[in-house]
């Protein structure tokens, strides 16, 4: 296992010193590269993107389509370097939660904080009809209900096939996910969402998965509120992470 050099991790400044590391888990069909733009607004925090097969630089690799295989492979290959926190958006929030639980079960270092964005509590999932089995046209319509896909992707047959493969694998992860009851995490959980996103109504359920009082922040916007409200979101992240006296190497 490795933390610094891993095909699973995207990092902008590998040699930089930081007081804390923020491992970011992307939403369905996405690359973690979007999080790299956060680095300039988070001084003292090293931002790392969790890059699974089928995403970004690993686009040619077949993606995982069950939560258990995804989490198992990630723990096999990555040693999370402390102190650290997790941030996950949408499906990434559920993945980050399951990784935190797996780290605890294996007696490994756990995150100091868990940020869960635009995803209802695990025991409430899935609460929408399954979609991964639909034909491409109907499947893409369900995906674009959350936001349109770039036209250049849809018009390029090869790229469209790659994107649909990843989106369908991610959809199957959520469609087949079943929460296994376990003691709540002994770390703070910060739940975030957009005011007009239907998932926001399910955020209070995260209180069952932490021994700490749940902290909830609702910002203007929809399922992808974090793009339009980036500055406000990162202010919240900074506020919860706080400052540390000595940088980690």
Residues designated catalytic: 90
Closest CA to 215 of 188, 196, 185, 242: 188
* Three-state secondary-structure class, residue 206: helix
* Calpha distance 210→245 (Å, rounded): 26
* Calpha distance 62→69 (Å, rounded): 12
- DSSP secondary structure, 62-109, as one string: PPP-SHHHHHHHHHHHB-PPSSEEEEEETHHHHHHHHHHHHHHHTT--
| Helix extents (H) in 79-224 | 91-105, 136-144, 151-155, 157-176
* Calpha distance 57→30 (Å, rounded): 12
Number of H helices, E strands in the chain: 8, 7
């Amino acid at each position: 296992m490795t933390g610094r050099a891993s095909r699973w991790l995207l990092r902008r400044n590998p040699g930089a010193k930081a007081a804390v590391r923020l491992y970011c888990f992307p939403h369905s069909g996405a690359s973690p590269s979007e999080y790299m733009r956060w680095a300039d607004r988070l001084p003292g925090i090293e931002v790392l993107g969790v890059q699974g097969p089928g995403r970004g630089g690993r686009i040619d690799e077949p993606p995982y389509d069950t939560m258990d295989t995804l989490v198992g492979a990630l723990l096999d290959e990555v040693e999370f370097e402390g102190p650290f926190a997790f941030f996950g958006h949408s499906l990434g929030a559920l993945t980050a939660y399951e990784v935190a639980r797996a780290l605890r079960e294996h007696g490994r270092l756990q995150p100091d904080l868990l940020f869960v964005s635009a995803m209802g509590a695990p025991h409430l999932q899935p609460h929408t009809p399954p979609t991964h089995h639909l034909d491409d046209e109907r499947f893409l319509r369900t995906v674009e209900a959350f936001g349109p896909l770039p036209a250049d992707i849809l018009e390029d047959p090869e790229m469209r096939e790659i994107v649909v493969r990843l989106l369908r694998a991610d959809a199957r992860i959520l469609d087949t996910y079943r929460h296994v009851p376990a003691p709540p995490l002994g770390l703070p959980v910060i739940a975030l969402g957009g005011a007009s996103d239907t998932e926001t109504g399910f955020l209070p359920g995260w209180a069952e998965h932490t021994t700490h009082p749940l902290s909830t922040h609702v910002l203007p916007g929809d399922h992808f509120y974090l793009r339009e409200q980036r500055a406000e979101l990162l202010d919240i992240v900074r506020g919860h992470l706080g400052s540390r006296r000595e940088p980690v190497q």
